Structure 1
Amino acid sequence: MNPGPSTLINPAATAAVLAEVAAERAAQDARWGQQDHVLGIGPDRQTAERTFAELAATWKRRCQLVARDGAPEWAFIALEEVGEFLECTDPARARAEALQAAAVFTAIVEAIDRQVAGGVLVAQADERLYLDDRT
Structure 2
Amino acid sequence: MYPTLFTTPGLKAFAEELDAERGRQLQKFGDQRHPDGTGSASQQVAAGAARARCHVAAEQGAMAWQHILDEEVREALAESDPAQLRAELIQIAAVCAAWVSDLDRRPQ
Deviation, structure 1 residue 11 = 2.4
User: How many Å separate the matches in 1 of 2:97 and 2:79?
Assistant: 22
Q: Give yes or no for the alignment of 1:14 onto 2:11.
A: yes
Deviation, structure 1 residue 43 = 3.2
Deviation, structure 1 residue 12 = 4.0
User: How many Å separate the matches in 1 of 2:93 and 2:10?
Assistant: 15
Superposition TM-score, scaled by structure 2 size = 0.88
Pairing 1:6-85 to 2, within 5 Å after superposition: 11-44=8-41, 51-85=42-76
Which protein shows a greater Rg? 1
Q: Quote the RMSD (CA, aligned, Å).
A: 1.5
Whichever structure has more helix as a proportion of its residues is: 2
Give % identity: 37
Q: How many residues end up aligned between the 2 structures? A: 103
User: How many Å separate the matches in 2 of 1:108 and 1:96?
Assistant: 18
Deviation, structure 1 residue 87 = 1.1
SS in 1 for 2:10: helix
Gaps of 5+ in 1: 1-7, 45-50, 120-135
- Of 76, 86, 92, 1:95 maps to 86
Superposition TM-score, scaled by structure 1 size = 0.71
Deviation, structure 1 residue 71 = 2.4
Runs of 4+ displaced beyond 3 Å: none
- Of 98, 101, 104, 1:110 maps to 101
Counterpart amino acid of residue 92 in structure 1: A
